[in-house]
Structure 1
Amino acid sequence: MAIKVLVVDDSSFFRRRVSEIVSKDPDLEVIGTAVNGAEAVKLAEQLKPQVITMDIEMPVMDGITAVRQIMAKCPTPILMFSSLTHDGAQATLDALEAGALDFLPKRFEDIATNKDDAILLLQQRIKALGRRRIYRPIAPRPAPVSPSTRPNMTGAVAGREVVQPVRPSLRSQTPHRASGKKYKILLIGTSTGGPVALQRILTKLPASYPHPILLIQHMPAAFTPAFAARLNGLCAINVKEAENGDQLRAGCAYLAPGGMQMMLERSGAYGRIKIIAGSADMNYKPCVDITFASASKLVGGDALAVILTGMGADGREGARMLKNMGATIWAQDEASCVVYGMPQAVTAAGISSKSLALDDMAEAILTESARG
């Protein structure tokens, strides 16, 4: 049975274009279109689509407000279309916090250099979201960390850790027990659903977290500065977009810049970051495999690497290299993933030693770090 799609955009041209692309795939069916957010909320309740594509800027009611109302009334997987600008990045992150699951650039030439590839990617994203049977909206955004409570770049504690609001969750039945292994670094790779997943984990880490953290999130170059700044405002640890030459420090998370590749080189206690241009033949910029592989050469087995929700298999080969050096690899479990692609790849290959629910991940990381 075809996945039912509702297309929402105030532009008649864009509604028609998206509808045509969706309808070309026999596994997808457009069951309605809406010209603004208010109409989208009504049609979502009436038509019960399995996926909604949503514009951000619309008259009567904008896309972000519509997402909030749809998630409150009839939770549905939503794919946002966004401009690749600073304002577009901020709005898209707001939409993801409101409950949208994924986003794509509104200009198809920004999705892929080849038109057919762009069409295929859009169809694949919609089908991946349409396979989600249940979606639980996220809890309200935690309060930002004030400058007086922020740690310095050495990871020293200054003030109290952020307290997370109570929220519904899928948790593992068996609590995690520390392996006793020592670590020098935490690595996290993710894609679709990653922005919300990373926020869920990182906001639970205290300012005194004892290791540097490398974050590889598939995201356009225009988005990573805004995403890093947003996480930095919410977390007790420091979060920044990685820059070439950054010395790794405990209690700081470094987000790989979009369109580039993040590697490590030997320097100081933990090493330093090397940022290089992403080659044209690479599917992912940044790429989890590249960062993980680089880390395996620098820290060997003294790493904890986590693969979170995302399409495809990026991270599998880099995780394999880390595991061969003795590192510990975890994957997010299927039930809590937006898309069980990347975690499934490392799990099916026998690379990950543990599958954890998203809401258990931070606690398990802290338990491991207490021994490391």
Structure 2
Amino acid sequence: MKRIKVMLVDDSAVVRQVVTGLLEGERDVEVIGAVADPLLAMTRMKTEWPDVIVLDIEMPRMDGITFLKKIMGERPTPVVICSTLTEKGAQTTIEAMAAGAVAVITKPKLGLKQYLKDNADDLVNAVRAAARSNVRRIVSSHAPPVIVEKHSASVILPPPGSDAMTRTTQRVVAIGTSTGGTQALEAVLAGLPRVSPGIVVVQHMPEKFTEAFAARLDSICQIEVREARNNDRVIQGQALIAPGGKHMLLRRQGAQYFVEVVDGPLVNRHRPSVDVLFRSVAKCAGPNALGVIMTGMGDDGAAGLLEMRNVGARTLAQDEASCVVFGMPKEAIKRGGVAKTVPLAGIGREIMQELTL
């Protein structure tokens, strides 16, 4: 069995010790180096190059973003950011993900050792996903607690009703994505004109990070992009990003759509969950909706996209060649929820077709 070679770059001795121990406990992972700053990492990497780099942001001598950009420019390598869960850290981490990082693992300032141990599964899964990712897609396109029970979206949504959906002039686009999704969403949303259908998005991302992510997208897009608030209307020319740590559902009053932001258990190991959004869209918008599932690990969204297709919504999946991780789209295709598979560059065109249907 080929083991995943990991280089850990973090100026905290505690992080290096704990993360090394957690990763070395996995049969398929090998830590080939744990160093305090990027300059030491570059020296070590001259003799052995890692499959995945786990990288802190704020470090002496060279910051993580400078190192990340250097790596992506010289030899693109999957990078998992290990970032402090703060507002300042969120802004910096979003910049790192825009530069090519494939995933983010959060860490607190206090109780760090226990937190990392409690969230070991998230760290290990992120490393494995990164190792399987097509990181060159990021460069060329540029750029939680342990779960005992796996919930479905039914724990958030009310039981299905008998209310039939009728067509209206109001269209809604629902997008779900995970690993690699920050770059994919940037590519899609930045290409949309000011007049575009109302869009609701679930991007798997920790609490505190989605506001900074939405603000960054808003600064580069013609449409308005922001983190969703409870009871926000879904309107043309706007994309609402589900807040990290909350589920987002679509609701309808008459011919108008709005979002509901709610607490609840993790669904498919995530909060927000793509399945929760997609199933609510199936119920409230029916054939007036377009569902898009993009790059990501796991199966979140596959069941919900099938429900959308079954009630007459258009459904798309990002194709394998343009995905960083072809997990979520592959599962949705396997379950029969995808009517059409398109490359990342074609998703914006499909979204704009909603205005002419």
TM-score, with structure 1 as normaliser = 0.82
Show the counterpart of 1:69.
Answer: 70
| Correspondence for 1:57 | 58
- What CA distance in whole angstroms lies between the structure 2 residues aligned with 1:75 and 1:240? 30
For 1:280 and 1:304, how far apart are their aligned partners in 2?
25
Cα distance in structure 1, aligned partners of 2:170 and 2:322: 26
Aligned to 2:102: 101
Verify: 1:274 aligned to 2:275, yes or no.
no
| Aligned residue number for residue 300 of structure 1 | 286
Cα 1:315–1:117 change in 2 (3 A) is farther
Q: 1:281 to 1:262 in 2, by over 3 A?
A: closer
Match status 1:253 vs 2:239: yes
Matched, 1:369 2:348: no
Q: Given residue 187 of structure 2, which amino acid in structure 1 is its aligned partner?
A: R
Identity between Structure 1 and Structure 2 (%): 40
Question: In the aligned structure 1, how far is the partner of 2:234 from the partner of 2:138?
Answer: 34
Contact 1:3/1:50 (<8 A) preserved: yes
Structure 1 pair 237/280, CA: closer, same or farther in 2 (3 Å)? closer
**1:6-21 alignment runs, 5 A limit:** 6-21=7-22
8 Å contact kept, 2:37–2:60: yes
Aligned mate of 2:179, from 183, 189, 192: 192
Q: For 1:197 and 1:110, how far apart are their aligned partners in 2? A: 34
Q: 1:51 to 1:330 in 2, by over 3 A?
A: same
| Contact persistence 1:44–1:74 (CA under 8 A) | no
1:193-208 equivalent positions in 2, closer than 5 A: 193-208=180-195
Cα deviation for residue 363 of structure 1 reads: 2.8
Does the 8 Å contact 2:102/2:135 carry over to 1? Answer: no
| Residue 235 (1) aligns with residue 221 (2) | yes
Q: Which residue of 2 aligns with 1:172?
A: none
Give the paired residue count: 330
Matched, 1:26 2:35: no
Aligned partner of 2:305: which letter?
A
1:107 to partner: Cα distance: 4.0
Q: Which amino acid aligns with 1:305?
A: G
CA apart distance, 1:11: 1.5
Deviation readout 1:141-183 (Å, 9 max, x if unpaired): 79xxxxxxxxxxxxxxxxxxxxxxxxxxxxxxxxxxxxxxx97
With over 3 angstroms needed to count, the CA separation of the structure-2 counterparts of 1:110 and 1:309, relative to structure 1, is farther
CA shift in 2, pair 1:293/1:137, >3 Å: closer
Alignment TM-score, normalising by the size of structure 2: 0.86
CA separation of 1:30 and 1:282: change in aligned 2, threshold 3 A = closer
Q: CA deviation at 1:117?
A: 6.1
Q: How far apart are the structure 2 equivalents of 1:214 and 1:341? A: 21
Match of 1:162 in 2: none
In 2, Cα distance between the equivalents of 1:140 and 1:311? 19
* Gap change, CA 1:320 and 1:137, over 3 Å in 2: closer
Alpha-carbon contact 2:170-2:256 (below 8 Å) kept = no
Give the Cα–Cα distance (whole angstroms) in 2 for the partners of residues 282 and 117 of structure 1. Answer: 18
Question: What amino acid sits opposite 2:58 in the alignment?
Answer: E
Amino acid of the structure 2 residue aligned with 1:330: L
Q: 1:110 to 1:254 in 2, by over 3 A?
A: farther
Match of 1:176 in 2: none
Partner Cα distance (1:109, 1:280) in 2: 24
1:102-153: per-residue Cα shift (whole Å, max 9, x none)? 1101249999x997662122112111211236524436979xxxxxxxxxxx
Shift of 1:352: 0.5
Distance 1:344 1:117, change over 3 A: farther
Deviation at 1:29, TM superposition (A): 0.8
Q: Which amino acid aligns with 2:215?
A: A
Aligned match of 1:125? 126
Of 127-136 and 312-321, deviating more is 127-136
RMSD: 2.5
CA contact under 8 A between 1:240 and 1:253: conserved in structure 2? yes
Distance 1:336 1:124, change over 3 A: same
Report the equivalent of 1:335. 321
Question: Which amino acid is 1:121 matched to?
Answer: D
Please, which moves more after superposition, 281-290 or 192-201? 281-290
Structure 2 unaligned regions, length at least 5: 144-168
Give 3-state SS (helix, strand or coil) of 2:256's partner: coil
